[in-house]
Amino acid sequence: MTKIRTYNQISSKGLDRFDRAQYQVGADQQDADAIVLRSHKLAPDEIESSVRAIARAGAGTNNVPVTHCTERGVVVFNTPGANANAVKELVLTGMLLSTRGVIPGMAHIAKQAGGSDNAALSKQMEADKKQFAGNELAGKTLGIIGLGAIGSMVAGMAIDLGMTVLGYDPALSVDAAWRLPNQVQKIENVTALLANSDFVTLHLPVLDSTRNLINDEMVSAMKPGLCLLNFARDEIVDHDAVIKGLDNGQIGRYVSDFPRYELIGRDDVILTPHIGASTAEAEENCAVMAAEQLKDFLVNGNIRNSVNFPALSLDRVPGAETDTRLAISNKNVPGMLGKILSVLAEQDINVIDMINKSRDEIAYTLIDLDKAPSSAAADAIRGIEDVINVTVL
Ligand SMILES: NC(=O)C1=CN([C@@H]2O[C@H](COP(=O)(O)OP(=O)(O)OC[C@H]3O[C@@H](n4cnc5c(N)ncnc54)[C@H](O)[C@@H]3O)[C@@H](O)[C@H]2O)C=CC1
Ligand SMILES: O=C(O)CCC(=O)C(=O)O
């Protein structure tokens, strides 16, 4: 039995992809082969030596100790794009709530509760509604920082709404560039984007290089009165700088999916409880994608959408028995493949097919063999210096 331990609420549509004849799945699984989680902050000591892979049903992996996993040869997956539409729709909600009098208008109506004369209520509301007038999004400029799965969808939506879209992404992948609507004006530096936008929305990961990206200097570069939306991560924003910006009018509104005590109760702040991806559709998409990627890895050793291992896939030889594939991860140093293949040759095992790729400090190899390797052969490969782990699949 393969054991999968879960954290958080993972959609059953995803977990049902694990056939219970072969998998035990649940929050109580000890000595797990793999972990599926959402926002649970995973500590290194929660990752037992049995764990081979961790799947984040979502985009951000800042809650997983990725460096520690890489050193241990644990593959960390995420599900890029699977919740992008949900976030896009909440960004639209945030923009509309920041610019129309919906929240104060609702609060005003709630204060009228208890009366019975609806004609009088209607007359009063018609008189009061001038307090809740707003502005339209059409014709305004939206700056997007981070043009990946979410940023590109937000860009398309904003263009459809009649907005001008500026985009900044110094690390844009080729795939993401293809997805981006061609009306997006690419800006080479963040300050120029901030100076020319009415709304700015953050859609980048939290990394050492992006922590506190929105700091005092960036706030002072903003077009006065700008609306800043943060559906990315709390740590990307220096909150002292944002509060100063709100107090001096440099920031008109701050919309954030990451509540903080110092922001609660301000009329110029809209907070939501990290619900960017909290739709039935996104939760299902993420869980299904996480489960499928994990199964393909656990059964075949294939890797799709990992944040620390190379993408790699090897078709099973038709009719081949199981237990004839080796999955090997090792430090990315010269000569490893030669040493591994020598062990197999010494054991008189023939290689039918193989693939090897590296990413930063890690290398990963799948080798199909003409017969199952003896435990002595697998142990001999494990014994090679700089081999991290070896699994027979
Ligand atoms: N509020 C919520 O519930 C959710 C929040 N998120 C957050 O949104 C982030 C983005 O998600 P996706 O678009 O799916 O990821 P993605 O990986 O598709 O896109 C991220 C983009 O940010 C860019 N980037 C990296 N460093 C940058 C920098 N210094 N300046 C500008 N751009 C930079 C990358 O090149 C990439 O194109 C996630 O990492 C996560 O933290 C994601 C999903 C749900
Ligand atoms: O799973 C969730 O609700 C959080 C989603 C998120 O923040 C992400 O995918 O990065």
For the chain, the structural domain boundaries read 1-83+280-309, 84-100+135-271, 312-393
Average pLDDT, rounded, for the chain: 97
CA of 61 to the centre of ligand 1 (A): 10
Q: How far apart are the first and last CA of the chain?
A: 14
* Model pLDDT, residue 317: 78
Looking at domain 1-83+280-309, does it have CATH number 1.20.120.1200? no
Can you tell me the mean pLDDT for 46-54? 98
CA of 126 to the centre of ligand 2 (A): 41
Has residue 321 got a pLDDT over 80?
no
CA of 245 to the centre of ligand 2 (A): 27
Which ligand 1 atom is nearest residue 277's CA?
Answer: 3
Cβ(11) – ligand 2 distance below 6 Å: no
Helix (H) or strand (E) holding 25: strand 23-26
The closest ligand to the CA of 290 turns out to be 2
84-100+135-271, superfamily in CATH?
NAD(P)-binding Rossmann-like Domain (3.40.50.720)
Q: For residue 313, count other CB atoms closer than 10 A to its CB.
A: 12
**What is 312-393's CATH number?**
3.30.70.260
Q: Do domains 1-83+280-309 and 84-100+135-271 have the same CATH topology?
A: yes
Has residue 318 got a pLDDT over 90?
no
Cβ(287) – ligand 2 distance below 6 Å: no
The closest ligand to the CA of 9 turns out to be 2
Has residue 28 got a pLDDT over 90?
yes
Can you tell me the mean pLDDT for 111-126? 97
Residue nearest ligand 1's atom 42 by CA = 59
Residue nearest ligand 2's atom 6 by CA = 58
Task: Match 């199909």 to its residue by tokens.
Answer: 368
Asked if 54 and 293 count as a contact pair (C-beta separation under 8 A), the reply is: no
Question: Which pLDDT band holds residue 322 (cuts at 50, 70, 90)?
Answer: confident
Can you tell me the mean pLDDT for 218-226? 98
Which tens digit of pLDDT belongs to each residue from 266-295? 999 999 999 999 999 999 999 999 999 999
Question: Which residues are paired to 63 by β-bridges?
Answer: none
Q: For residue 48, count other CB atoms closer than 10 A to its CB.
A: 12
Distance CA 231, CA 214 (A): 13
Q: Which residues line ligand 1 (CB under 6 A)?
A: 58-60, 80, 83-84, 87, 145-151, 168-172, 176, 203-206, 209-210, 231-233, 257, 274, 276-277
Distance CA 224, CA 157 (A): 24
- What percent of the residues of the chain are helix, what percent strand, and what percent coil, each to the nearest 5? 35, 20, 45
**DSSP letter string, 129-196:** GGGG----STT-EEEEE--SHHHHHHHHHHHHTT-EEEEE-TT--HHHHHHS-TTPEE-SSHHHHHHT
Which tens digit of pLDDT belongs to each residue from 185-206? 999 999 999 999 999 999 999 9
Asked if 387 and 381 count as a contact pair (C-beta separation under 8 A), the reply is: yes
* Model pLDDT, residue 241: 98
Burial class of 192 by CB neighbour count within 10 A (0 to 12, 13 to 18, 19+): middle
Has residue 320 got a pLDDT over 80?
no
Question: Which pLDDT band holds residue 299 (cuts at 50, 70, 90)?
Answer: very high
Asked if 230 and 256 count as a contact pair (C-beta separation under 8 A), the reply is: yes
**CA separation, residue 264 to residues 133, 246, 254, 267 (Å):** 23, 13, 11, 9
Question: Which residues are paired to 387 by β-bridges?
Answer: 330
* Model pLDDT, residue 323: 86
Reading the block at residue 7, the tokens are 């954290």
Q: Is the dihedral angle over the CA atoms 195, 197, 198, 201 positive or is it negative?
A: negative
**CA separation, residue 145 to residues 41, 85, 198, 259 (Å):** 25, 17, 13, 20
Has residue 180 got a pLDDT over 90?
yes
Which ligand 2 atom is nearest residue 278's CA?
Answer: 3
Question: Which pLDDT band holds residue 140 (cuts at 50, 70, 90)?
Answer: very high
CA of 375 to the centre of ligand 1 (A): 43
The closest ligand to the CA of 204 turns out to be 1
Has residue 167 got a pLDDT over 90?
yes
Burial class of 101 by CB neighbour count within 10 A (0 to 12, 13 to 18, 19+): middle
